[in-house]
Amino acid sequence: MDGEWHSVLPDGRDVEVRREGQDWIVTCGYSQARSENLDVALAKAIRAEIGLDGDTRAVDYPTWLRHVADKLASDR
């Protein structure tokens, strides 16, 4: 994957993923996370953003995260 990738979480929040060296940088709302593992960066950014507004809507984030990580990894 080169450049940036944009998507929307199942609950409508915007997500941006980009690669910087060996790290993945994920921005979700006002939260950002960095990790060498895409699924870790996604989970951290989403968890931090949900924690900011206390949203408790039931969304299957693990399945969404795995789908995104698999798709982006296959695009590389």
Looking at the predicted structure, is the pLDDT value of residue 64 above 70? Answer: yes
Task: Give the pLDDT of residue 53.
Answer: 56
Backbone angles phi, psi at 61, to 5 degrees: -65, -40
pLDDT in tens, 2-55: 578 898 887 788 999 999 999 999 999 899 999 999 888 988 998 888 775 555
**Residue 51 vs residues 18, 25, 57: alpha-carbon distances, Å:** 22, 19, 12
Domain spans in the chain, listed from the N-terminal domain onward: 4-75
